Amino acid sequence: MKLNHLFDLSGKVAVVTGGGNGIGKAVCMMLSRAGASVAVGDLKYEDAQHVADEIKAEGGKAIAVACNVTVDEELVNMVDETVKAFGKVNVLVNNAGGGGGGRENPSKISVDDFAWRFKLNVYSAWRLSQLCAPHMEKDGYGSIINITSMSSINRSPNMSAYAASKAAMNHMTANLAMDYGGGKIRVNAVGPGATKTAALASVLTPEIEAKMLAHTPIKRLGEVDDIAGAVLYFAAPISEWVSGETLFVNGGGVQTLD
């Protein structure tokens, strides 16, 4: 097999949630450059539209879809729109997610907020997997990639809801790999360390950054393409026999906010 073919997604169709900014945008661009047609889903339709336009300006194929991953009808609609535009689904990247940021002290976070983080991070990925799997199975090629976090294995103060929901994603990844393997669908996760996006900027101070770098052998914070590269590996034929795994991409270190 030629090396190029191992990373080639020509003729494949990808769905990416939270694709309008940050890691999700980088994933959309990289999957498109590898040949995939991309459905860019985002809560902010205009941001998704910008990314779809950028892909088309480079000669790729893309659609933008308004999709809040906590709303079931919008998940169903995103898959329907993708199949209507491109005929199938091969790659699903469950990237939209959040919480964390050191704002989850048990004395402050409400029961509803705790539950919302699980809806955003865990339920959405499970439900989209359920919706996309039949299309992947039908086409004989499927890869589901869940974006989790280093928080899923770190111990940090004020992060219990986010950390627990991302840990649940890791384990759900391993379990869904058992469920979907028979349909030639791989399920893997990528766990970013601190990666330069708007979400990180909202909680980063020079002091926190210096402390993070002190615990990171590769002396820089993550760039969005570092994470997108790991997603490409799991999406492409090169990882055909890899399933149920979580790959942490973190410069070799542990970056925490405390």
Residue numbers of the site for ligand NAD (CB under 6 A)?
A: 17-18, 20-24, 42-44, 47, 67-70, 95-98, 120, 147, 149, 192, 194-195, 197-200
Cα separations in angstroms, 34 against 48, 203, 232: 19, 33, 8
Which stretches within 140-223 are classed as H helix?
A: 160-180, 198-201, 206-214
Least Cα distance to 180 among 229, 238, 131, 119 occurs for 131
d(CA 228, CA 209): 22
Nearer to ligand NAD, 76 or 199 (CB): 199
CB of 6 to ligand NAD, least distance (A): 26
d(CA 156, CA 148): 16
d(CA 161, CA 104): 7
CB of 197 to ligand NAD, least distance (A): 3
| Residue 18 near residue 187, CB atoms below 8 Å | no
Nearest position to ligand NAD, beta carbon: 22
CB of 102 to ligand NAD, least distance (A): 12
Nearer to ligand NAD, 147 or 236 (CB): 147
CB of 202 to ligand NAD, least distance (A): 8
Report residue 134 as tokens.
């039949």
| Residue 257 near residue 102, CB atoms below 8 Å | yes
Q: In what order do the strands lie in the sheet with 185-192?
A: 62-66, 37-42, 13-16, 91-94, 142-147, 185-192, 246-249
Nearer to ligand NAD, 145 or 147 (CB): 147
As a whole number of Å, the CA-based R_g of the chain is 17
Nearer to ligand NAD, 13 or 120 (CB): 120
Ramachandran angles phi, psi of 143, nearest 5°: -145, 120
CB of 209 to ligand NAD, least distance (A): 12
Nearer to ligand NAD, 166 or 186 (CB): 166
Residue 162 designated active-site? yes
**Active-site residue among 141, 162, 180, 233?**
162
Residues with active-site annotation: 162
